[in-house]
Amino acid sequence: MARTRIGVVGAGFVGMTVAQRIAEKQIGDVILTDIVEGMPQGKGLDMCEAGPIERYDSHVTGTNSLDDLRGCDLVVVTAGLPRKPGMTREDLIDKNAEILRSVAGKVAAAAPDAILVMVSNPLDIMTYLAWKLTNFPKQRIVGMAGVLDSARFSWFVAEKLNCSMQDITAMVLGGHGDAMVPMPRYTTVSGIPITDLMSESEINALVQRTRDGGAEIVKLLKTGSAYYAPSAAVAAMVASILRDERRILPSAAILDGEYGLKGTCIGVPCVLGRNGIEKVIELKLTETEAVALRKSADEVRKGIEHLKL
Protein backbone atom coordinates (compact mmCIF):
# COMPACT_ATOMS: atom_id res chain seq x y z
CA MET A 1 0.00 0.00 0.00
CA ALA A 2 1.32 3.46 -0.91
CA ARG A 3 2.44 5.54 2.04
CA THR A 4 0.84 8.84 2.93
CA ARG A 5 2.47 11.78 1.14
CA ILE A 6 2.81 15.08 3.00
CA GLY A 7 4.06 18.24 1.32
CA VAL A 8 5.87 21.00 3.19
CA VAL A 9 6.20 24.30 1.30
CA GLY A 10 9.15 26.29 2.65
CA ALA A 11 12.29 24.66 4.07
CA GLY A 12 13.28 27.37 6.53
CA PHE A 13 13.48 26.72 10.27
CA VAL A 14 9.76 26.02 10.70
CA GLY A 15 9.40 23.98 7.50
CA MET A 16 12.45 21.81 8.05
CA THR A 17 11.50 21.15 11.68
CA VAL A 18 7.94 20.25 10.60
CA ALA A 19 9.44 17.76 8.13
CA GLN A 20 11.68 16.32 10.84
CA ARG A 21 8.83 15.86 13.32
CA ILE A 22 6.54 14.28 10.73
CA ALA A 23 9.29 11.86 9.71
CA GLU A 24 10.16 10.94 13.30
CA LYS A 25 6.50 10.31 14.10
CA GLN A 26 6.28 8.18 10.91
CA ILE A 27 3.10 9.93 9.82
CA GLY A 28 4.14 9.56 6.18
CA ASP A 29 6.71 10.47 3.55
CA VAL A 30 7.57 14.16 3.22
CA ILE A 31 8.09 16.24 0.09
CA LEU A 32 10.05 19.31 1.26
CA THR A 33 10.01 22.19 -1.22
CA ASP A 34 11.82 25.52 -1.40
CA ILE A 35 12.95 27.97 -4.07
CA VAL A 36 16.60 27.84 -2.91
CA GLU A 37 18.36 25.31 -5.11
CA GLY A 38 19.93 22.39 -3.25
CA MET A 39 18.77 23.50 0.20
CA PRO A 40 15.66 21.28 0.57
CA GLN A 41 17.51 18.42 -1.12
CA GLY A 42 20.35 18.66 1.40
CA LYS A 43 18.04 18.91 4.39
CA GLY A 44 15.93 16.02 3.12
CA LEU A 45 18.99 13.80 2.66
CA ASP A 46 20.24 14.72 6.13
CA MET A 47 16.89 13.67 7.66
CA CYS A 48 16.90 10.39 5.75
CA GLU A 49 20.37 9.67 7.09
CA ALA A 50 19.05 10.25 10.62
CA GLY A 51 16.40 7.56 10.06
CA PRO A 52 18.60 4.54 10.86
CA ILE A 53 19.60 6.17 14.16
CA GLU A 54 16.14 7.39 15.20
CA ARG A 55 14.52 4.22 13.77
CA TYR A 56 12.03 5.70 11.33
CA ASP A 57 11.35 4.68 7.73
CA SER A 58 9.73 7.87 6.49
CA HIS A 59 11.43 9.39 3.45
CA VAL A 60 12.10 13.13 3.20
CA THR A 61 12.59 14.22 -0.41
CA GLY A 62 13.79 17.74 -1.14
CA THR A 63 12.77 19.55 -4.32
CA ASN A 64 12.56 22.99 -5.89
CA SER A 65 9.39 22.21 -7.84
CA LEU A 66 5.87 22.46 -6.46
CA ASP A 67 4.85 20.01 -9.19
CA ASP A 68 6.45 17.30 -7.05
CA LEU A 69 3.62 17.74 -4.54
CA ARG A 70 1.36 15.74 -6.85
CA GLY A 71 -0.59 13.10 -4.99
CA CYS A 72 0.02 14.64 -1.56
CA ASP A 73 -2.71 13.91 0.97
CA LEU A 74 -1.88 17.05 2.95
CA VAL A 75 0.27 20.11 2.33
CA VAL A 76 1.74 22.36 5.04
CA VAL A 77 2.48 25.91 3.85
CA THR A 78 5.19 27.71 5.84
CA ALA A 79 6.48 29.95 3.03
CA GLY A 80 6.65 33.63 3.90
CA LEU A 81 8.73 36.41 5.37
CA PRO A 82 8.99 37.23 9.08
CA ARG A 83 8.01 40.70 10.23
CA LYS A 84 11.11 42.89 10.32
CA PRO A 85 11.83 46.09 12.28
CA GLY A 86 10.04 49.04 10.71
CA MET A 87 7.61 46.79 8.82
CA THR A 88 3.93 47.49 9.46
CA ARG A 89 1.31 44.76 9.74
CA GLU A 90 0.00 45.87 6.33
CA ASP A 91 3.49 45.54 4.84
CA LEU A 92 3.69 41.96 6.13
CA ILE A 93 0.25 41.16 4.72
CA ASP A 94 1.24 42.52 1.30
CA LYS A 95 4.59 40.68 1.15
CA ASN A 96 3.29 37.30 2.28
CA ALA A 97 0.10 37.57 0.23
CA GLU A 98 2.34 38.03 -2.82
CA ILE A 99 4.29 34.89 -1.90
CA LEU A 100 1.11 32.90 -1.25
CA ARG A 101 -0.36 33.99 -4.57
CA SER A 102 2.70 32.54 -6.31
CA VAL A 103 2.32 29.25 -4.45
CA ALA A 104 -1.35 28.47 -3.84
CA GLY A 105 -2.45 27.82 -7.41
CA LYS A 106 0.46 25.46 -8.07
CA VAL A 107 -0.21 23.56 -4.85
CA ALA A 108 -3.90 23.22 -5.74
CA ALA A 109 -3.04 22.01 -9.26
CA ALA A 110 -0.54 19.43 -8.02
CA ALA A 111 -2.59 18.18 -5.08
CA PRO A 112 -6.25 19.03 -5.76
CA ASP A 113 -7.57 16.65 -3.09
CA ALA A 114 -5.13 17.66 -0.35
CA ILE A 115 -5.91 19.24 3.00
CA LEU A 116 -4.03 22.52 3.46
CA VAL A 117 -2.47 23.41 6.82
CA MET A 118 -1.43 27.06 6.84
CA VAL A 119 1.46 28.36 8.96
CA SER A 120 2.47 31.55 7.11
CA ASN A 121 1.81 34.84 8.93
CA PRO A 122 -0.35 36.79 9.50
CA LEU A 123 -1.81 33.34 10.05
CA ASP A 124 -5.56 33.92 10.05
CA ILE A 125 -5.44 36.29 7.07
CA MET A 126 -3.21 33.97 5.02
CA THR A 127 -5.51 31.03 5.81
CA TYR A 128 -8.48 32.99 4.48
CA LEU A 129 -6.51 34.04 1.38
CA ALA A 130 -5.46 30.43 0.73
CA TRP A 131 -9.14 29.45 0.76
CA LYS A 132 -9.94 32.11 -1.83
CA LEU A 133 -6.97 31.26 -4.04
CA THR A 134 -7.41 27.48 -4.08
CA ASN A 135 -11.23 27.28 -4.09
CA PHE A 136 -10.88 24.30 -1.75
CA PRO A 137 -13.85 23.55 0.52
CA LYS A 138 -13.36 25.46 3.76
CA GLN A 139 -13.17 22.18 5.70
CA ARG A 140 -9.91 21.42 3.86
CA ILE A 141 -8.23 24.70 4.85
CA VAL A 142 -7.02 24.91 8.43
CA GLY A 143 -4.61 27.31 10.10
CA MET A 144 -2.09 26.48 12.83
CA ALA A 145 -2.02 28.88 15.75
CA GLY A 146 -4.40 27.83 18.48
CA VAL A 147 -2.42 24.68 19.29
CA LEU A 148 0.75 26.78 19.57
CA ASP A 149 -0.82 29.54 21.66
CA SER A 150 -2.48 26.94 23.92
CA ALA A 151 0.86 25.17 24.38
CA ARG A 152 2.49 28.43 25.42
CA PHE A 153 -0.35 29.10 27.88
CA SER A 154 0.07 25.54 29.23
CA TRP A 155 3.79 26.01 29.80
CA PHE A 156 3.29 29.31 31.62
CA VAL A 157 0.66 27.69 33.87
CA ALA A 158 2.92 24.69 34.60
CA GLU A 159 5.84 26.99 35.37
CA LYS A 160 3.71 29.12 37.72
CA LEU A 161 2.16 26.16 39.57
CA ASN A 162 5.35 24.07 39.48
CA CYS A 163 3.42 21.07 38.17
CA SER A 164 3.63 18.64 35.26
CA MET A 165 2.80 19.97 31.80
CA GLN A 166 1.21 16.61 31.05
CA ASP A 167 -1.71 17.39 33.37
CA ILE A 168 -2.60 20.70 31.71
CA THR A 169 -5.14 21.28 28.97
CA ALA A 170 -5.33 24.87 27.77
CA MET A 171 -7.63 26.65 25.33
CA VAL A 172 -6.90 29.81 23.34
CA LEU A 173 -9.38 31.24 20.84
CA GLY A 174 -9.34 34.12 18.37
CA GLY A 175 -6.75 35.47 15.98
CA HIS A 176 -3.06 34.69 16.28
CA GLY A 177 -1.92 38.07 17.58
CA ASP A 178 -2.39 40.70 20.24
CA ALA A 179 -6.16 40.17 20.26
CA MET A 180 -6.05 36.40 20.90
CA VAL A 181 -8.42 35.17 23.61
CA PRO A 182 -6.86 32.76 26.16
CA MET A 183 -9.67 31.00 28.05
CA PRO A 184 -8.92 30.48 31.78
CA ARG A 185 -12.33 28.85 32.38
CA TYR A 186 -11.49 26.16 29.84
CA THR A 187 -7.88 25.73 30.96
CA THR A 188 -7.48 22.95 33.50
CA VAL A 189 -4.93 21.02 35.54
CA SER A 190 -6.12 17.41 35.94
CA GLY A 191 -9.62 18.70 35.28
CA ILE A 192 -9.38 21.56 37.81
CA PRO A 193 -9.93 25.00 36.22
CA ILE A 194 -6.98 27.30 36.81
CA THR A 195 -9.48 29.84 38.14
CA ASP A 196 -9.58 27.59 41.25
CA LEU A 197 -5.80 27.44 41.53
CA MET A 198 -4.58 31.00 40.92
CA SER A 199 -5.64 34.55 41.64
CA GLU A 200 -7.17 36.73 38.95
CA SER A 201 -4.06 38.91 38.80
CA GLU A 202 -1.82 35.85 38.36
CA ILE A 203 -4.02 34.53 35.55
CA ASN A 204 -4.11 37.93 33.84
CA ALA A 205 -0.31 38.04 33.86
CA LEU A 206 -0.13 34.60 32.19
CA VAL A 207 -2.78 35.59 29.65
CA GLN A 208 -0.74 38.65 28.65
CA ARG A 209 2.46 36.61 28.46
CA THR A 210 0.67 34.18 26.15
CA ARG A 211 -0.38 37.06 23.87
CA ASP A 212 3.26 38.21 23.83
CA GLY A 213 4.62 34.66 23.49
CA GLY A 214 6.02 34.95 19.98
CA ALA A 215 7.41 38.44 20.53
CA GLU A 216 9.17 37.31 23.71
CA ILE A 217 11.08 34.66 21.77
CA VAL A 218 11.92 37.07 18.93
CA LYS A 219 13.30 39.53 21.47
CA LEU A 220 15.49 36.86 23.06
CA LEU A 221 16.75 35.45 19.76
CA LYS A 222 17.56 38.91 18.33
CA THR A 223 17.20 37.44 14.82
CA GLY A 224 14.60 34.89 13.76
CA SER A 225 11.53 33.57 15.51
CA ALA A 226 10.15 30.41 17.16
CA TYR A 227 10.15 27.09 15.34
CA TYR A 228 10.35 24.22 17.86
CA ALA A 229 6.88 24.78 19.34
CA PRO A 230 5.25 25.86 16.05
CA SER A 231 6.51 22.71 14.30
CA ALA A 232 5.29 20.54 17.18
CA ALA A 233 1.86 22.16 16.85
CA VAL A 234 1.78 21.47 13.11
CA ALA A 235 2.82 17.83 13.60
CA ALA A 236 0.05 17.29 16.16
CA MET A 237 -2.53 18.67 13.71
CA VAL A 238 -1.16 16.64 10.79
CA ALA A 239 -1.25 13.44 12.86
CA SER A 240 -4.83 14.07 13.98
CA ILE A 241 -5.95 14.66 10.39
CA LEU A 242 -4.10 11.88 8.56
CA ARG A 243 -4.54 9.26 11.29
CA ASP A 244 -8.19 10.30 11.72
CA GLU A 245 -7.62 10.77 15.45
CA ARG A 246 -10.42 13.36 15.60
CA ARG A 247 -8.71 15.35 18.32
CA ILE A 248 -10.36 18.61 19.39
CA LEU A 249 -7.66 21.19 18.71
CA PRO A 250 -7.97 24.99 18.54
CA SER A 251 -7.38 25.81 14.88
CA ALA A 252 -7.93 28.74 12.53
CA ALA A 253 -11.13 28.03 10.62
CA ILE A 254 -13.15 29.99 8.07
CA LEU A 255 -16.42 30.64 9.87
CA ASP A 256 -19.87 30.70 8.31
CA GLY A 257 -22.14 31.65 11.19
CA GLU A 258 -20.42 29.81 14.02
CA TYR A 259 -20.10 32.07 17.06
CA GLY A 260 -22.27 34.51 15.10
CA LEU A 261 -19.34 35.31 12.80
CA LYS A 262 -18.99 35.34 9.01
CA GLY A 263 -16.40 36.58 6.55
CA THR A 264 -13.47 35.96 8.87
CA CYS A 265 -11.04 33.26 9.97
CA ILE A 266 -10.12 32.79 13.62
CA GLY A 267 -9.03 30.14 16.08
CA VAL A 268 -11.85 27.97 17.45
CA PRO A 269 -11.98 24.41 18.82
CA CYS A 270 -12.17 22.01 15.86
CA VAL A 271 -12.48 18.25 15.49
CA LEU A 272 -9.60 17.40 13.13
CA GLY A 273 -9.97 14.18 11.17
CA ARG A 274 -9.45 12.64 7.77
CA ASN A 275 -11.66 15.22 6.05
CA GLY A 276 -9.88 18.16 7.68
CA ILE A 277 -12.13 20.21 9.95
CA GLU A 278 -14.83 17.67 10.75
CA LYS A 279 -16.70 19.98 13.11
CA VAL A 280 -16.38 23.38 14.79
CA ILE A 281 -17.16 23.19 18.51
CA GLU A 282 -19.16 26.19 19.74
CA LEU A 283 -18.33 26.90 23.38
CA LYS A 284 -20.73 28.69 25.70
CA LEU A 285 -19.08 32.06 26.22
CA THR A 286 -19.63 34.71 28.84
CA GLU A 287 -20.47 38.17 27.55
CA THR A 288 -16.90 39.30 28.28
CA GLU A 289 -15.44 36.36 26.36
CA ALA A 290 -17.86 36.88 23.45
CA VAL A 291 -16.92 40.56 23.20
CA ALA A 292 -13.20 39.67 23.19
CA LEU A 293 -13.75 37.06 20.46
CA ARG A 294 -15.71 39.52 18.29
CA LYS A 295 -12.94 42.10 18.75
CA SER A 296 -10.35 39.53 17.67
CA ALA A 297 -12.46 38.57 14.65
CA ASP A 298 -12.79 42.24 13.69
CA GLU A 299 -9.00 42.62 13.74
CA VAL A 300 -8.66 39.70 11.33
CA ARG A 301 -11.47 41.06 9.13
CA LYS A 302 -9.62 44.37 8.77
CA GLY A 303 -6.61 42.46 7.46
CA ILE A 304 -8.79 40.51 5.04
CA GLU A 305 -10.36 43.75 3.79
CA HIS A 306 -6.84 45.12 3.19
CA LEU A 307 -6.32 42.30 0.66
CA LYS A 308 -9.16 43.75 -1.48
CA LEU A 309 -10.27 40.30 -2.63
pLDDT digits (tens, 9 = 90+) for 60-101: 999 999 999 999 999 999 999 887 767 788 889 999 999 999
Mean pLDDT computed over 34-52: 98
Contact 281, 274 (CB under 8 A): no
pTM above 0.95? Answer: yes
CA atoms within a 13 Å half-sphere pointing along the CA-CB vector of 296: 25
C-beta of residue 236 within 8 angstroms of C-beta of residue 154: no
Pinpoint the residues of the chain covered by CATH 3.40.50.720: 5-143
**Boundaries of CATH 3.90.110.10 in the chain?**
146-306
For the chain, give the longest Cα–Cα distance: 55
Each residue's pLDDT tens digit, 206-234:
999 999 999 999 899 988 899 999 999 99
Average pLDDT of every residue of the chain: 96
φ, ψ for residue 78, nearest 5 deg: -110, -5
Query: Residue 306 — pLDDT band, cuts 50, 70, 90?
Result: very high
Q: What are phi and psi of 268, to 5 degrees?
A: -145, 160
Q: Supply the pLDDT for residue 309.
A: 84
Peptide bond into 122 cis (omega under 30): yes
pLDDT band for 1, please (50, 70, 90 cuts).
low
Domain boundaries 146-306, CATH class: alpha beta
- Phi then psi for residue 265, to 5 deg, are -140, 115
306 in active site: no
Among 43, 83, 140, 176, which one carries the catalytic annotation? 176
Q: Which CB contacts under 8 angstroms, 24+ apart, belong to 233-237?
A: 233/144, 233/145, 233/147, 233/148, 233/151, 234/14, 234/18, 234/21, 234/76, 234/117, 234/119, 234/144, 235/18, 235/21, 235/22, 235/25, 235/27, 236/147, 237/117, 237/142, 237/144, 237/147, 237/272
Beta carbons of 39 and 11 less than 8 angstroms apart? yes
* DSSP secondary structure string for all residues of the chain: -PPPEEEEE--SHHHHHHHHHHHHTT--EEEEE-SSTTHHHHHHHHHHHHHHHHT----EEEES-GGGGTT-SEEEE--SPPP-TT--HHHHHHHHHHHHHHHHHHHHHH-TT-EEEE-PSSHHHHHHHHHHHH---GGGEEE--HHHHHHHHHHHHHHHHT--GGGEE--EEB-SSTT-EE-GGG-EETTEEGGGTS-HHHHHHHHHHHHTHHHHHHHHHSSS---HHHHHHHHHHHHHHHTT--EEEEEEEEEESGGG-EEEEEEEEEEEETTEEEEE------HHHHHHHHHHHHHHHHHHHHT--
Is pLDDT of 189 > 90?
A: yes
Digit-coded pLDDT (tens) for 240-293: 999 999 999 999 999 999 999 998 999 999 999 999 999 999 999 999 999 999
The alpha-carbon radius of gyration of the chain (Å, integer) is 19
Residue 82: its pLDDT value, please? 80
- Predicted pLDDT of residue 222: 87
Determine the pLDDT at residue 16: 98
CATH number, domain 5-143: 3.40.50.720
Q: How far does Cα 18 stand from its chain's mean position? A: 11
